[in-house]
Amino acid sequence: MSAPVNFHSLHDLQALAKVFATVAPACDYWSLRLVAEHWDRLEVRQGVMEPAALGHSLGAMVTVVTRAGLGYAATNDLSRAGLRAAGRQARDWALAHDQHGLFDAALLPRATLQATYDAPVEEPWGEVPLSDKLALLQQANAALAISPRILDCSAWLGWNSVDQLLVSSAGAQIAHHLEFLHSGLLAVANAGDQTQRRLGGGADWPQQGGLERLAALGFVEAAPQVAEEALALLEAPECPTETLDLVLMPSQMMLQIHESIGHPLELDRILGDERNYAGTSFVTPAMFGQYRYGSELLNVTFDPGVPGELASVVADDDGTLAERVHLIRNGVLERPLGGALSQARAGLPGTANARASGWDRPPIDRMGNLNLEPGSATLAELIGGVERGVLMETNRSWSIDDSRNKFQFGCELGRLIIDGELGELVRNPGYLGCSAEFWRSLDGVGAADTVEVRGLCNCGKGEPNQSLYVGHASPPCRFRQVDVFGGGA
Amino acid sequence: MSAQQIEEDARDSFYTLARRLNAETRTDETLFCELNAEHSDFVRLNQNRIRQAGQVQHARLNLTLIEDRRQAEAQCDLSGDLARDFEQARALLRQLRLRLRHLPEDPYIQFSTEATRSDHWPTVPLVATGAAVTDIMTAAQGLDLVGIWASGELTTGLASSVGHCHWHVSRSFHFDWSCHGGADCAVKGSHGGVAWDVTPVRERLEAMRAELDIMTRPLKRLTPGRYRAWLAPMAVAELIEMLAWDGFDLKSQRTRQTPLLRLLDGEERLDSRVVLRESHGAEGTGLLPAFTSEGFLRPDTLTLIDQGQAGTPLVDARAGKEFNQPVNAASGAPESLIMATGDLAADQVLNRLGSGLFIGNLWYCNWSDPNYCRITGMTRFGTYWVENGMIVAPVAPMRFDDSLYGLLGERLLALGADASLMLSAQTYGGRSLESACLPGLLVDGLQLTL
């Protein structure tokens, strides 16, 4: 593979870390997180190449603990003077925190771990010529344009890599090399005042890895169906508005897990840090170990070890070893999503999920890979057990209250289920409910061979704001008696 | 060295970098160099104590190389060391040149061929963050305050081989916060600007203490249904922000993806008092650059909704070329929205509402059915039940699902006589300089669903 120009290797990062060690401020503890990112994005829209965009970024996040204070400084001036200045700035902020801090910074874990993680990549981005990628995109885009009613269509391929080195004054040395492929197809169909869109080709299925993922996604092959479904939705009846059984495919389950299990279990929300922005949680510390979150079929894990899942890592950004743990077992809530600092503040167990979106943001509690463990049903059995219901797939809209309880989701596509059989297509399908009750209506969970390892690249949270990648693996699931609705005035 | 001198050095350094890169280009090539730099302090508060405090210093260079109707873009960070940055940018330029050979022609390339110049400098010094945050914590003693202080300097530079030379520096601060009295009991504050004075924050905090007294009364729990409501400016901002999402841009309109499709087709119309403008002239904050990445100058004002009917769409350079319309925007999303005010005076809002909902803030809005401009979302901070013109109780968070065609159409009773200028608190990818200046709205029915 030919490395991109200006490629910053792990060796470069190690050299910078050595420089920082010579200019680090006098303090009780410091850590340095160096992040080098590279990216490339190609898109063909309506047969025309959009401006191709590549780039790279390299910066440092310095964290300092002195006395009872904790402070940070992020910079992309990586000269000796720049790193020294960042160390001093971080120490100044630590002194301010020492005076007015919410907690004693002695609670911050001292990272000592030495570990390495390499994302699985079989077909590296750089090994396939640009002309081949463009030809693939033109082919996929052309396959979407099957009707004059398709008013807009796009095919895209994106790649990014992240090389991160975390070192600390306590001896930590943690290196990650991550690579991600982002592919997608979009078809927008219109007839009169009705517009429908359909995504596919991996648009809602990002993973770690390289171009080998395209074969699994059936990138070009998927295009006709994407366009046909967008067209079919134009003519489909509205989803009925009534209380029905609901089968959610993994492409919607990931949002359901994300919003109504992931966010409410974030320990920093429970500790109140996010009350001004992302919100709080209906979950309280007293609930752990006893609260019935869902039916017996609900098992949810924090699992950083699933090959290819977006947030698979060896350690979090505070340097805690990442390990698989159950958050909910047989429907009972066991532990929150909280990194070592939040665990110490709350006096609760947690997970290795202190994560930052890049070198210019400090770690906070995030989701990582949050997965719903498989059950034993086939998809046919899940559908077969429904007398009257709707199957929904591909999230289109999401909204939930700041305690993460009252939610409403919309999907791109629905199908009626009548007497255990899949029926006609319905458009604008949506449903609403409350987290605390919804998961107790779970009465069917797909088997291991129905699990799809998906994820989201736009989970937003934090002040300052951070948008990052989270993984969600799930089988299709069935819920009883849910309020569903369709579109219209 | 003064802050002004440091900034002038940064400008000269950027122009030198661009000049050297331009010297590398061939006669048939056009190069645009854009700098986006941020130097910001962020102090996060919880329980009126510092939760997380730090500083971010970041400078990014965007290169766009155009040759023979082909174009490609690249981005890298700048360290501040001119020699090092030039070598890095030159390597990217070479990479772009190689890439252009493989790219097809792009019929939608468009850039300004007029070598315009501008220089914009802030007139105020940087706010001293430490002192400001201490002022706030002192004023908020006894309150459970949660929020974020963000302040500093943002710089945008543009230089091209055409001859563009634009430099825009802004210094601003934003304090976005809430005060809490227990579960579902919170009120919101937000204050941003260029010159710091604790007085407005102190006054708002005092008002919030009184509001929290009301918020600690027993919650009123509403059942789903349609309720008469006053939407305060911050709640209106959440609704109008949804229209920024494909609502006004030419491409979404021509490909019929806009949620305002029925308005464009004349099947719906909004109340004739609804006027929305994108304003970068005297009405704007002056924080945003007046130029686009392609060297175009933005018009002072565009009327996006004119007396309830679709007005001028936002046209960025690419959409302008594709649909043969003049460029009038940096992107398809508004950045400085102004809504015309009405005649409902602030001290008459409760009387005119009579009995119904006073909604301070909405939260987590999303499309329920964009074809009908139907939005769902939640009530959040500072939402009360009003009876006979008197606030009687806080309201437990409720979900709404309603169409803007109704809320801004046949159910719009009145617009507030005063507009609130709200700077964006968003910091994804850097501090936002977007703003909205909006009045509150009195509506004869907001549909609550859960």
Go through the domains of chain A in sequence order and give each one's CATH number.
10-235 (3.30.2290.10), 242-485 (no CATH)
Note the pLDDT of residue A6. 56
How many domains does chain B fold into?
2
Closest-CA distance, A222 to chain B, in angstroms, reads 22
What one-letter code names the amino acid at A395? Answer: N
**Looking at chain A, which residue has its C-alpha nearest residue B258?**
A195
Specify whether B256 is located in the same domain as B124: no
- Same domain as B397, residue B376: yes
Q: Is the pLDDT at A237 greater than 80, yes or no?
A: yes
**Are residue B178 and residue B262 in the same domain, yes or no?**
no
B364-382 per-residue burial string, b: 16 or more CB within 10 A, e: under 16: bbbbbbbbbbbbbbbbbbb
Whether residues B87 and B53 share a domain: the answer is: yes
What is the mean pLDDT of the segment spanning A399-412?
97
CA angle B230, B235, B241 (to 5 degrees): 135
Range of the domain at B42: 3-213
Residue A48 banded pLDDT, cuts 50, 70, 90: very high
Residue position matching structure tokens 């719903």: A372
Q: Which of B213, B243, B274 is the last residue of a domain?
A: B213
**Chain B residue with the nearest C-alpha to that of A49:** B106
Chain B residues inside the 8 Å CB shell of A152: 255, 257
- Nearest in space to A180 (alpha carbons), one of A456, A466, A473: A456
Domain shared by B322 and B428, yes or no: yes
Last residue of a domain, one of B213, B238, B262: B213
Instruction: Write the residue in A53, A464, A488 that is nearest to B150 by C-beta.
Output: A464
In angstroms, what separates the C-alpha of B285 from chain A's closest C-alpha? 22
In terms of Cα–Cα distance, which of A194, A198, A191, A188 is closest to A225?
A: A198
Q: Which residues does A5 contact at the CB level (< 8 Å), separation at least 6?
A: B91, B92, B94, B95
Residue A3 has what pLDDT? 42
A vs B: CB pairs below 8 A: 256
Same domain, B86 and B130: yes
In the predicted model, residues of chain B with pLDDT beneath 70 are: 1
B384 and B235 inside one domain: yes
Predicted confidence band of residue A422 (pLDDT cuts 50, 70, 90): very high
Residue ending a domain, choose from B191, B213, B235? B213
CB proximity A160 to B under 8 Å: no
Report the complex ipTM. Answer: 0.96
Residues of chain A in contact with residue B370, where contact means CB-CB under 8 angstroms, are: 195
Chain B contact present for A250, CB below 8 A: no
Quote the DSSP letter at residue A358.
S
B381 near B188, Cβ under 8 Å?
yes
Q: What percent of chain A shows pLDDT beyond 70?
A: 99
Same domain, B316 and B228: yes
Between chains, do B257 and A152 touch, taking CB under 8 Å as contact? yes
Residue A1 has pLDDT above 70, yes or no: no
Q: How far apart are CA B148 and CA B138, in angstroms?
A: 16
Indicate whether B221 and B207 sit together in one domain. no
* CA separation for the pair A411, A255 (Å, rounded): 10
Contacts of B108 in chain A (CB under 8 A): 48
Q: Are residues B191 and B235 in the same domain?
A: no
CATH of the domain at B25: 3.30.2290.10
What mean pLDDT, rounded, does chain A reach?
Answer: 96
- Chain A residues in contact with B60 (beta carbon < 8 A): 57
Peptide linkage before B394 cis (omega within 30 of 0): no
pLDDT band at A120 (very low <50, low <70, confident <90, very high): very high
* Together in a domain, B343 and B209: no
Whether residues B83 and B224 share a domain: the answer is: no
Kindly report the backbone phi and psi dihedral angles of residue B166, in degrees, each rounded to the nearest multiple of 5, phi listed first.
Answer: -130, 140
A117 burial class (0-12, 13-18, 19+ CB within 10 angstroms)? middle
A7 confidence band (pLDDT: 50, 70, 90) = low
**Partners of A343 in beta bridges:** none
